[in-house]
Amino acid sequence: MRISLSDVRKSFGSVEVVKGLNLDVEDGEFLVLLGASGSGKTTALRMIAGLETVSDGRIAIGGRDVTDVLPKYRDVAMVFQSYALYPHKTVFDNIAYPLAVRKRPKAEIEAAVKDVARQVQLDALLDRYPRQLSGGQRQRVALARAIIRRPAAFLMDEPLSNLDAKLRGHMRAELKHMQHKLGITTIYVTHDQIEAMTLAHRVAVLERGVLQQLDTPANIYNRPANLFVAGFIGSPPMNFLDGELVDGRFSAVAGSFGTTSRATRTQAVAGIRPEDCRVAAPSDGQIAGDVYATELIGDHTLVTCRCGGEMVTVKADKEFDRSVGEAIGVALAPRAIHLFDRQSGDRIV
Amino acid sequence: MRVERPSLLRRLIEPPNLETLAPIPKVATYAALIAWSLVVLMPLYWVVITSFKLPVEVDTGPYYLPFIDFRPSLDAWHYIFVDLGNDTLRPYANSVVVALASTTLAVLIGSLAAYALVRIRFKVKFASIVAFIALVIGVIVAVVELQVPWQLAVVIAIALFILSLGTIARRFRAGLGNNDIEFWIISNRIMPPVVAVLPIYIMFQQLHLLDTHIALISTYTAVNLPIVVWLTRDFFAGVPIDLEESAEMDGASKFRVFFTIALPLVRSGLVATFMLVLILAWNEYLLALFLSNANAQTMPLLVSAQNGTRGPQWWYMSVLIVIMVAPVVVVAMFLQKHIARGLLVGAVKG
Amino acid sequence: MTVALETKHTTAVSTGFAEWIDRQSGRIMVLPAVLLILTFALFPLIVSAYLALSRFALASGGYRLTFVGLYNFRRLLVGVQQYHFLGTFKTFGPLAWILLAIVLLGLLMWLTRYVRSGRAGVFGLIGRLISASVAAGVTLAVLATIVAGGFPGSFVTTLFYVFAGVAVQFVLGLGLALLCAQPIRARNWFRVIFFIPLTVTPVGIAYTFRMLADMQKGPFEPVIHWLGLGEWSWATEPWSARFIIIVGDTWQWTPFLFIVLLAAIESQPRDQIEAARLDGASNLQIFRDVTWPSIAPVAATVVLIRLIEAFKIIDLPNVLTNGGPGLATESMTLHAFIAWRTQDLGGSAAIGYILLFISTVTCVSFFNYVVMCARGYQS
């Protein structure tokens, strides 16, 4: 089912938390709402679920205006960050709850629960209680409870954040596979950009209640729409240099270089990702400085260079052996340079 | 977009979102709550207006509204305060003194004990408990059957007890720990006062302390200790121990730590406990009934003494009830939040 | 390099008086409380035991206490005072027999289930046997006096006040709390208003209710007149008198349950409620599946606290009805007070002890079987 938000706003008292959000989610799409805490992403999700009222704007699910409809009639299922399992019910009863509440016949419930439990590999644990399960198992129960109704959409509120790193990676793959198989529209909230990049068909980046960019992960990564998105996505983060742009030539304290742009801006910011930089001899690179720190990651080395007062991180290969304080040059691939207006933060085309 | 419009019936019963009530449930809820508010306020209202009525107005039937049904007069008030002046003031002053004094003592002693029970490990030997009980029985038998003067018996018993602590108790290891001591203190609440009040009456009679402030204050303090310990124990348990430990490392004694660090930190909980115990002490009836007479009479007794031979004189009674009830009600209304929190802490921790 | 070794002789730390105080500080802190409770609780308890086992008589120049063993208890339970304490028995009718059979069967099943459960221990079994026998005895007394058409004594009347009163107060308190927990605007106002009865002096409220319940002069007179009950007085019928006492008790104590239950309802896990709402649960289902399991431990504890206090009831029966009509509304505490007034110290102490016994068994049983079970609801 398609989900659309039209100019949705939400204020708590005098604080506006979501400002004029417009979003169209395609049927079967996995959309990730990505942002830091306080960005309004969770509030937006709860408004779609009906757990929060809308201060302004409309929300539609499957072409139906649900802005004034109670959550139970919206045909959406939610996976909470805390899983929200009922502690005194068995795993079976937890998963069966959506159907039991609607008074489905017992045989139908049993068949459905067993089927879903098999899908999330919980069939051996149906008689246990939540307190006897591990974090990952509880998360799968929450997932199963959401799946069993075959809702019009899944809403997920940071479901993996309470799991340890290794389990998180495993569950990411499971979630992606499951969503693909079921084909149900999914809106997923997270602050973790890796989850966003790996799981999403499209990512909506939110900051302080305003949508920054809505695009595929690749485009978000390769063509960030503004300074915020550029700095938020990517690890290690993009390098930024303040400077001036004249006819496409960028001049900063650390050096000047040409770009693929033809624009002129007195206050511009040039951004370049560490993997698009190369260490070079001091006279060879577009910018020059000295080595500030080196970190051997394993398969590569992160070299932080101090160039003209600003820090530039470069991904070098694992055999990098220059020492701290050595003069060094940084070569930049012109096609990989991103340019932003320093005032508005917007991308300069 | 198709906009849904649920049926009229649905719109009356079900709300459009989770933050409001639908019309019918809303009306029903408010109606029920307002109804109970009337039930709560009606007796109080009745008492207040009755205090402004003349005897003839009370006897001839119900009059509801001042200035409309009947003319309010200050006759009853005048009688109680001026004509009976001292007879009213004395019990009132007694109530104030006894309630405040016993509550302060109870909170002080109780919080001190609760703090010790939370921070320090105790071990009470079974042997010493058995010795205590045996000695008490011995004193009773000696005084009653053998006609030994009770002062002598008590002194001998205390001496024997201290002796036994040093010798017999040392031989036996088994004992009760902190939890058991706590449980014992708190379980005293189950004991119906009527079981204890007779011996307490006899005790004060022998000490010639019947009908004095001291008798009531000490008894009230003891009776309310369990509640204080029960509530403040949880407050102290919630204070992080680091602050106290660092103070002790700086050389402060345990008493100093208690008064300067622990106590201020649980201030709001103490206020709640104080208020709760104050209410209990102010309203107490049974013990005052047994232990006081003319001198130390408290307000509840004064009120119940108004039972004249022809039936209670409701107009005078109402004035007494109003001045007895008003202070506590006013205090409670302002501190309701604190007191409620105190009750909840106790109930949740159980 | 050689390292010079210095042996320092540490002088023994002199234990000053201040040090000794500090080491004893635990005992000193607890001492006042323990002393007070020993003097005003434990000591009287033992003396009362002695009094209960003796007979008090005024003699020249003072009094005389003679040891009489269980005489006082026998008098109350099977002797001259039985009509006063337990009540007047009538022969069982069919209804009484059926009820007795149901109760005894239920207790038996409960006991066997425990023994079979595999977690049985000696103390557990003894405790349950005590609870079961007391329950059976109480049932007999209640059936013989109330159901069979006899007259309940102070023992049965007290139990009536306790169980009927607490049940009504709990249901009312829970209902009010649930209503107040709805999204309404004046919640804090209602909280403050509903809190007031707790603070009102019971004696004062007893007299006020007497005023209110006056058939001729009270505010309900028009209603009573319209219902045609003008000539009837509630104080002359045992059950209407008991009912009025329950009304007064409920007015006073419902706020206690209300406040605690409301706070418990407000702190229930929000995410489970939201999940249930999304799953389509109705208000009733949410109460059954989320709210009730969440507040069960607090509810059980607060009912226990109320039970403990309820056994002690005296103000209302004393002031509202003076124990009347006859003995109909006498509670055990009131009975003990009356005995004391007639110089029957032994009887008074005996009643007190039976009250202590029944309170303790009820409260400990309730704690073990209900409170602990409710606590198991939570993860």
DSSP class of residue A347?
A: B
Considering Cα of B39, then B41, then B42, then B44, what sign does the dihedral take?
positive
Q: Write out the H or E segment, with its range, that includes residue C250.
A: helix C238-266
Of residues A32 and B323, more confidence is placed in: A32
Contacts of B138 in chain C (CB under 8 A): none
Which pLDDT score is estimated for A31?
A: 95
Interchain CB contact of C373 with A (< 8 Å): no
Residue C215 banded pLDDT, cuts 50, 70, 90: confident
Give the best residue of C17, C24, C67, C200 to mutate against chain B (max B CB count within 10 A): C200
**Which pLDDT value is given to residue B343?**
67
Q: Of C278, C285, C289, which is closest to A71 when you measure between CB atoms?
A: C278
Q: A36 pLDDT band (50/70/90 cuts)? A: very high
Q: Measured between CB atoms, which of C48, C179, C217 is closest to B198?
A: C48
What value does the mean pLDDT take over residues A84-102?
Answer: 93
In angstroms, how far apart are the furthest CA atoms of chain C?
114
Nearest CA in chain B to C52: B195
Nearest CA in chain C to A151: C279
User: Ramachandran region of residue A183, left (φ > 0), alpha (ψ -120 to 50) or beta?
Assistant: left
Question: Is the predicted pLDDT of residue C10 greater than 50, yes or no?
Answer: no
**C201 SS3 class:** coil
pLDDT (0 to 100) of residue A46: 95
Q: CB–CB of A70 and B19 under 8 A?
A: no
The sign of the torsion formed by the CA atoms of C292, C296, C302, C308 equals positive
| Comparison of pLDDT for C3 and C240, the residue scoring more | C240
A139, amino acid identity: Q
Give C317's DSSP letter. I
User: Per residue in A275-329, pLDDT tens?
Assistant: 998 888 888 878 888 899 999 998 999 999 998 888 999 999 888 888 888 888 8
Secondary structure (3-state) at C291: helix
Peptide bond into A236 cis (omega under 30): yes
Phi, psi of A154 (to 5 degrees): -100, 135
For residue A161, pLDDT beyond 80: yes
Structure tokens at B123: 């071990």
- pLDDT given for residue A309 in this prediction: 82
Q: What is the CATH code for A3-231? A: 3.40.50.300
Cβ contacts from A onto B, under 8 A: 28
Cβ contact C278–A76 (<8 Å): yes
Mean pLDDT of C175-190: 89
Instruction: Categorise residue C372: left if φ over 0, alpha if ψ from -120 to 50, beta otherwise.
Output: alpha
With contact defined as beta carbons under 8 Å apart, do C116 and C145 qualify? no
The phi, psi pair for A306, rounded to 5°, reads -95, 110
| Whether A88 and C281 lie within 8 Å, measured CB to CB | no
Residue to mutate among A2, A67, A72, A78, with most B CBs inside 10 A, is A67
C377 touches chain A (CB under 8 A): yes
Q: Under an 8 A CB cutoff, do A69 and B3 touch? A: no
The percent of residues in chain C predicted with pLDDT above 70, rounded, is 93
Give the nearest partner residue to A71 out of C277, C289, C379, using CB atoms. Answer: C277
Which residue would you say has higher pLDDT here, B136 or A127?
Answer: A127
Q: How far is CA C168 from CA A278, B215, C303, C318, in A?
A: 80, 37, 11, 22
Q: 10 Å Cβ neighbour count for C234? A: 18
Amino acid at B115: Y
Q: What angle do CA C139, C140, C141 make, to 5 degrees?
A: 90
- Tell which residue, A219, A128, A154, A233, has the closest CA to residue A191: A233
Inter-chain residue contact A70 with B16, CB threshold 8 Å: yes
* Cβ atoms of residues B195 and C45 within 8 Å: yes
Q: CB–CB of C339/C327 below 8 Å?
A: no
At B258-315, the pLDDT tens digits run: 888 888 888 878 888 888 899 889 988 888 888 887 788 888 888 877 765 556 778 8
Lookup result for tokens 């700086």: B250
Would the CB atoms of C278 and A87 count as touching at under 8 Å?
no
Residue A341 clears pLDDT 50, i.e. is over it: yes
Q: Of the spans B101-115, B290-304, C54-68, C125-139, which averages the highest pLDDT?
A: B101-115
Instruction: Say yes or no for a CB contact (<8 Å) between C37 and B199.
Output: no
Note the helical H segments in chain A: 41-49, 91-101, 106-119, 135-147, 165-182, 193-199, 217-222, 227-232
Torsion over CA: C276, C277, C281, C285 (sign): positive
Angle, helices B213-237 vs C25-37, to 10°: value is: 130
pLDDT band at A158 (very low <50, low <70, confident <90, very high): very high
* B interface with A, Cβ–Cβ below 8 Å: 1-4, 14-19
What is the rounded distance in angstroms from the CA atom of residue A118 to the CA atom of residue A136? Answer: 15
> Does the pLDDT at position C3 exceed 50?
no
Residue B19 to residue A53, Cβ atoms within 8 A: yes
**CA distance, residue A64 to nearest chain B CA (Å):** 5
Chain B CB contacts of A63 under 8 Å are 1-2
Q: Residue A236 CB: number of other CB atoms within 10 A? A: 15
* DSSP codes of every residue in C70-105: THHHHHHHTSTTHHHHTEE-----HHHHHHHHHHHH
Sign of the alpha-carbon dihedral angle for C264, C265, C267, C269: positive
| Of B78, B31, B77, B43, residue with least CA distance to B329 | B43
Nearest to A65 among B4, B14, B17 (CB): B4
Contact at CB, C200 and B300, closer than 8 angstroms: no
Name the maximum alpha-carbon separation found in chain B: 99
Q: What CA–CA distance (Å, rounded) separates A143 from A159?
A: 9
Is residue C290 within 8 angstroms of chain A, CB to CB? yes
Q: What is the CATH number of domain C151-375?
A: 1.10.3720.10
CB-CB under 8 Å, C222 with B116? no
Q: Which chains touch C (3 or more CB pairs under 8 A)?
A: A, B
Beta-carbon contacts below 8 Å between B and C: 303
Question: For residue C307, what are its two tokens?
Answer: 């039970």
How large is the average pLDDT for residues C243-268?
A: 90
Q: pLDDT digit string (tens) for C327-342?
A: 888 898 988 888 888 8
The string of pLDDT tens digits covering residues B43-69 is: 998 888 888 888 877 777 677 777 777
Q: Do B4 and A58 count as a contact with CB atoms less than 8 A apart?
A: no
pLDDT class of B71 with cuts at 50, 70, 90: confident
Alpha carbons C135 and A177: distance in angstroms, whole number: 61
Instruction: Give the pLDDT of residue A53.
Output: 92
Q: Is the pLDDT of residue C62 over 70?
A: no
Distance from the Cα of C306 to chain A's closest Cα (Å) equals 27
| Over residues A126-149, mean pLDDT | 91
Asked if B328's CB is within 8 angstroms of C312's CB, the reply is: no
Please report, for chain A, how many H helices and E strands are present, in that order: 8, 20
Q: Which residue of B has its CA nearest to A5?
A: B1
Chain A CB contacts of B14 under 8 Å are: 70
- Collapsing DSSP states into helix, strand and coil, what is residue C354? helix
Q: How far is B199 from chain C (nearest CA, A)?
A: 5
Given a contact as 3+ CB pairs under 8 Å, which chains touch B?
Answer: A, C
Closest chain C residue to B305 measured between Cα atoms? Answer: C319
- Rounded CA-CA distance C198/B336 in Å is 11
User: Domain boundaries in chain B?
Assistant: 8-76, 86-122+178-349, 123-176
The pairing of beta strand C54-59 with beta strand C62-67: antiparallel
Written as one letter, the residue type at C260 is V
Sign of the Cα torsion A56, A62, A63, A66 reads: negative
Positions of E strands within chain C:
54-59, 62-67, 87-88, 151-152
Distance CA A178, CA A164 (A): 21
pLDDT category at A231 given cuts 50, 70, 90 is very high
Supply φ then ψ for residue B294, to 5 degrees.
-90, -40
**Is residue C284 less than 8 Å (CB to CB) from chain B?**
no
Domain extents for chain A?
Answer: 3-231, 238-341
**Any B CB within 8 A of C280 CB:** no
Q: Would the pLDDT of B342 be above 80?
A: no
Selected residues 23-42 of chain B with any CB under 8 Å from a CB in chain C: 25-26, 29-30, 32-33, 36-37, 39-42
A30-44, B106-120, C325-339, range with greatest mean pLDDT:
A30-44
Nearest CB among B2, B15, B18 relative to A64 is that of B2
CB contact under 8 A, A51 and C278: yes
Contact B253 C22 (CB under 8 A): yes
Q: What are phi and psi of A68, to 5 degrees?
A: -110, 30
Q: Across A1-10, B331-340, C46-55, C323-332, which has the greatest mean pLDDT?
A: A1-10
The mean pLDDT value of chain A amounts to 90
CATH of A238-341, one of 3.30.420.40, 3.30.1490.100, 2.40.50.140, 3.50.7.10: 2.40.50.140
The model's pLDDT over A48-61, given as tens digits with 9 standing for 90+, comes to 999 999 999 999 99
Q: Assess contact for C373 and C301: CB atoms under 8 A.
A: no
pLDDT at C5 over 60: no
Optimal mutation site among B3, B20, B21, interface A, most CBs of chain A within 10 A: B3
- How much of chain C, in percent, has pLDDT values that exceed 90? 16
C235 interface with B at CB cutoff 8 Å = no
Mutate to test the interface with A, among C278, C282, C290, C378 (most CBs of A within 10 A): C278
Mean pLDDT, range C198-219, rounded to an integer: 83
Is there a contact between A92 and A110 (Cβ–Cβ < 8 Å)? Answer: no
- CATH number assigned to the domain covering B86-122+178-349: 1.10.3720.10
Which residue carries 């709760």 as its tokens? B276
Judge: B1–A65 Cβ closer than 8 Å, yes or no: yes
Q: How far is B2 from chain A (nearest CA, A)?
A: 5
Average pLDDT in chain C: 83
pLDDT digits (tens, 9 = 90+) for C122-158: 878 888 888 888 888 888 888 888 877 778 888 889 9
Of residues A65, A70, A71, nearest to B3 (C-beta): A65
User: In chain B, which among 82-101 make CB contacts under 8 A with chain C?
Assistant: none
Q: How far is CA A30 from CA A4, A33, A185, A191, in A?
A: 14, 10, 6, 16
pLDDT at A164 > cutoff 80: yes
